[in-house]
């Protein structure tokens, strides 16, 4: 028998809110087949009954830079997804701006093959904007999660691109700044946040609103300002914010490469407004924008060091702090980190619930105040969150019902991971094969 039972206080914020129960997961398929009171009919049984322990669906991160390929010295698909597992994340969507830049069918296939071989989490990839519409059509059938638009793409993208991506049921994820924001040279983070003000993000959203098709799915990522979030939602876009824009502010980061990031950190007032946006249900998801660099690169002078904050191993723990401090509830946390991201990606029939038919990616959390004492698995082990107060940690993490990580034993297995967007390829193949039959 190839079924594993995971028992304890189950919480998905939809149907289960702390009731004791057992998840029954078929490890051949990797999906939940039952939720029952007792661990009956299972070849392996894992019970977590400690106080302050909670079992939830794995978190989803829709914005991750796993680097790899020619930039594997910064991070690679194995180190980045191992760090994600320890952080409580079971599905990551990788960004295309590695080296080489991924915007052709050949490079998409190459990157997805590496992810399939090395990833410890479920995975997919956004494509960069290709040179032609025909190339875009082919790439969208290769198993990608959608199209990523960078500031330099804003003047190239048009209604046709938005419509084609929407026809495939995929998402356009947008860095909301215009290319002009990158032109001024700033010698400190304070100057950068002045040069790269909220107005560049607002202008980007307004430009997109002019070309967004009714059936298009536009997602604004790492919004830093309340007005950006508000305008994006008014236009029907979805929005995420990052942990660093939520927990770090400009007053704590003068001339520190560790927190140099695009878009830049804002002031305390804007930070508080982002919390307000969460409480008003304007924010659809939290996404890390995990952007690792080598320790040497981050040790350069402020003018030369590359922007980016690495946080995939720790950011969910920061969010649990908001729960422990009773700023938000567990339902809200799971909406931001599980159901919201799944909905943005169009995967809410596979991820987001502890229920039959859903992917057996499950995290066991121990909840309570702690401090970040270091990172172990990401190649980018520097962090602006060292000794920060968090709200818990991962005790165990299952992918497809397989125990991948235990807090005491470390990594125990390489799981059978999936690219959930492969089903689009399969659907298209069946359509081509059989669509003309009567």
Give start and end residues of each alpha helix (H) in 168-225.
189-195, 198-211
- Alpha carbon distances (Å) from 276 to 28, 40, 272, 282, 305: 43, 45, 6, 9, 32
- The 8-class DSSP code of residue 152 comes to G
d(C-alpha 129, C-alpha 114), whole Å? 21
Q: Please state, in angstroms and rounded to a whole number, the distance separating the CA atoms of residues 9 and 7.
A: 7
Query: How far is the C-alpha of 339 from the C-alpha of 283, rounded, in Å?
Result: 12
- Dist. CA 119–CA 106, nearest whole Å: 20
**What is d(CA 81, CA 109) in angstroms, rounded to the nearest whole number?**
19
Indicate which residues carry an active-site annotation. Answer: 289
Alpha-carbon distance 62 to 171, whole Å? 11
Tokens coding 279: 């409480």
Task: Tell me the two tokens of residue 101.
Answer: 């830049």
Cβ neighbours of 140 (radius 10 Å)? 25
Among 315, 335, 331, smallest CA distance to 323 is for 331
Q: Which of 201, 281, 204 is nearest to 245 (CA)?
A: 201
């Amino acid at each position: 028998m190839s079924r594993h039972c995971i028992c304890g206080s189950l919480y998905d914020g939809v149907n289960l809110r702390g009731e004791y129960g057992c998840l029954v997961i078929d490890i051949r398929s990797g999906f939940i087949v039952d939720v029952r009171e007792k661990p009956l009919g299972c070849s392996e049984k894992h019970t977590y009954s400690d106080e302050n322990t909670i079992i939830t669906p794995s978190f989803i991160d829709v914005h991750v830079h796993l680097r790899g390929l020619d930039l594997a010295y910064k991070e690679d698909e194995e180190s980045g997804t191992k760090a994600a597992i320890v952080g409580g994340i079971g599905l990551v969507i990788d960004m295309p701006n590695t080296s080489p830049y991924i915007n052709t069918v050949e490079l998409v296939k190459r990157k997805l093959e590496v992810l399939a071989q090395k990833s410890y989490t479920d995975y997919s990839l956004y494509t960069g904007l290709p040179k032609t519409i025909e190339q875009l059509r082919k790439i969208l059938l290769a198993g990608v999660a959608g199209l990523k638009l960078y500031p330099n793409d804003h003047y190239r993208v048009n209604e046709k691109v938005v419509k084609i991506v929407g026809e495939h049921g995929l998402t356009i994820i947008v860095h909301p700044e215009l290319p002009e924001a990158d032109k001024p040279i700033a010698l400190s983070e304070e100057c950068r946040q002045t040069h790269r003000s909220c107005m560049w993000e607002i202008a980007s959203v307004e430009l997109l609103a002019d070309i967004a098709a009714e059936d298009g799915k536009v997602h604004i990522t790492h919004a830093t300002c309340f007005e950006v979030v508000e305008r994006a939602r008014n236009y029907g876009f979805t929005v995420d914010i990052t942990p660093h824009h939520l927990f770090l502010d400009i007053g704590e980061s003068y001339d520190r490469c560790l927190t140099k990031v695009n878009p830049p950190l804002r002031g305390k007032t804007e930070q508080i407004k982002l919390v307000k946006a969460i409480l008003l249900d304007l924010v659809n998801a939290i996404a890390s924008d995990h952007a690792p660099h080598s320790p040497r690169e981050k040790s350069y002078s402020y003018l030369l060091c590359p922007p980016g904050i690495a946080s995939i191993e720790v950011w969910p723990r920061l969010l649990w702090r908001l729960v422990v401090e009773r700023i938000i509830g567990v339902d809200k946390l799971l909406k931001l980190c599980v159901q919201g991201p799944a909905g943005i990606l169009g995967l809410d029939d596979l991820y987001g619930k502890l229920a039959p038919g859903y992917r057996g990616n499950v995290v066991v959390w121990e909840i309570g105040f702690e401090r970040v004492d270091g990172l172990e698995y990401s190649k980018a082990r520097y962090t602006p969150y060292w000794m920060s107060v968090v709200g818990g940690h991962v005790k165990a993490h299952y992918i497809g019902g397989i125990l991948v990580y235990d807090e005491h034993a470390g990594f125990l297995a390489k799981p059978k991971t999936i690219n959930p967007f492969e089903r689009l390829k399969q659907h298209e193949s069946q359509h081509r094969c059989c669509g003309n039959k009567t």
